[in-house]
Amino acid sequence: MGQCYGQLSLRERIEIYRLHADGKSQNEIALALDRARSTISRELRRNSQSTRVWKGGYEPVRAQQLAERRRKWDGRFKLARQPDLRKLVGESLAMGHSPEQVAGRLAREHGRVIISHESIYRFIYHRTAQKDYWHRLLPRHKLRRGRRRRPSGSPASFIKQRRPISERPAEVESRREPGHWEADFMLFASYGQGLLVLHERQTRFSIVQHLPDRKALLTAQVIARQLRKLPQVMRKPSASTTEPSSQSITGSTKNWAFQPSSAIHTALGKREARKTRSVACDVSLRRRPPCSA
């Protein structure tokens, strides 16, 4: 006798409940009802989930009510009303195509819109809510629609007292006087380690210092210690620093022994001679092993 592919009836659900309570396996229940094992597995999985008002477990009358409600809800979806179209869309999604690609391909083959990608998405997430896991056919396997909420903008946007490089004073931009510095990091594969590169704009004099980590306080102390070794003209109080948009450098500028008159921060890609110095260091140093002091 062939297997039945119709909807489960209340009588069959009562029999599933009885056999399941007796400890019968899903294969044995499927043989007793002449149903596919996947049908029994899906029936028990979908109708045994615990909720805020249901402690869990399979109950035939409740399972029948849930099934009738699902059939009523499914009538709102084109894919639920057209099994052939649902099968075709499911096969295309299983091949790795997105709903947009599936809808576009069907429209091109038939010369008209058969189904929109929005209808496919709505059906998928409706079935996912019913524990059918259609979302696994999507490229990103997302349970819910929409993007995760993240802080907008780059990390540099959250730096206090941040000023763009366009506001850099004219004497700094023209390199007319010494004492204006640029600071940059070159990072290594070992987390946190890196080289701090200080570059004086007029003389092109550079200082390269290994840092065991990127904490702002340590970075500020290292910069102050290195600048104290230089002549006064190279570290005059009226000078300024141009720094990358990094919390590692800017987080503790108020604690520096060397107090710049204008702490100017620039986004990546706007560094001039400083970038050249970092590249030169990068060529001669291996990035994979940890850097020793």
Domain extent listing, the chain: 1-74, 77-144, 171-284
Question: What pLDDT does 75 receive?
Answer: 65
Confidence bin at 35 (pLDDT 50/70/90): very high
As a dihedral over the C-alpha atoms of residue 159, residue 165, residue 170, residue 176, rounded to 10 degrees, the angle is 100
pLDDT score, position 164: 73
Burial class (CB in 10 A: 0-12, 13-18, 19+), 57: middle
Tens-place pLDDT, residues 214-262: 787 888 888 888 888 888 888 765 455 555 555 555 444 433 333 333 3
Give this prediction's pTM.
Answer: 0.36
Q: In the predicted model, is pLDDT for residue 8 greater than 80?
A: yes
Contacts of 91 (CB under 8 A, 6+ apart): none
Distance of CA 276 to the CA centre of its chain: 33
- 171-284, what's its fold? Nucleotidyltransferase; domain 5 (3.30.420)
Whether residue 6 is predicted with pLDDT greater than 70 in this model: the reply is: yes
Residue 29 has pLDDT above 80, yes or no: yes
pLDDT digits 0-9 by tens, 72-120: 766 678 887 888 998 999 899 988 899 999 999 999 998 888 999 998 9
User: Which residue would you say has higher pLDDT here, 40 or 254?
Assistant: 40
The per-residue pLDDT for 293 is 45
Biggest alpha carbon–alpha carbon distance for the chain = 99
For the chain, the three-class secondary structure string (H helix, E strand, C coil) is CCCCCCCCCHHHHHHHHHHHHCCCCHHHHHHHHCCCHHHHHHHHHHCCCCCCCCCCCCCHHHHHHHHHHHHHHHCCCHHHHCHHHHHHHHHHHHCCCCHHHHHHHHHHHHCCCCCCHHHHHHHHHHHHHCCCCHHHHCCCCCCCCCCCCCCCCCHHHHCCCCCCHHHCCHHHHCCCCCCCEEEEEEECCCCCCEEEEEEECCCCCEEEEEECCCCHHHHHHHHHHHHHCCCHHHCCCCCEEEEECCHHHHCCHHHCCCCCCEEEEECCCCCCHHHHHHHHHHHHCCCCCCCCC
Q: How far apart are CA 75 and CA 121, in angstroms?
A: 16
In percent, how much of the chain has pLDDT > 70?
Answer: 68
Decide if 1-74 and 171-284 have a common fold: no
pLDDT for position 147 = 63
Q: Which of 32-36, 101-105, 262-266, 285-289 has the lowest mean pLDDT?
A: 262-266
What is the CATH number that goes with domain 1-74?
1.10.10
State the chain's mean pLDDT as an integer. 74
Length reported for the chain: 293
Residue 143 tokens, joined: 């349970």
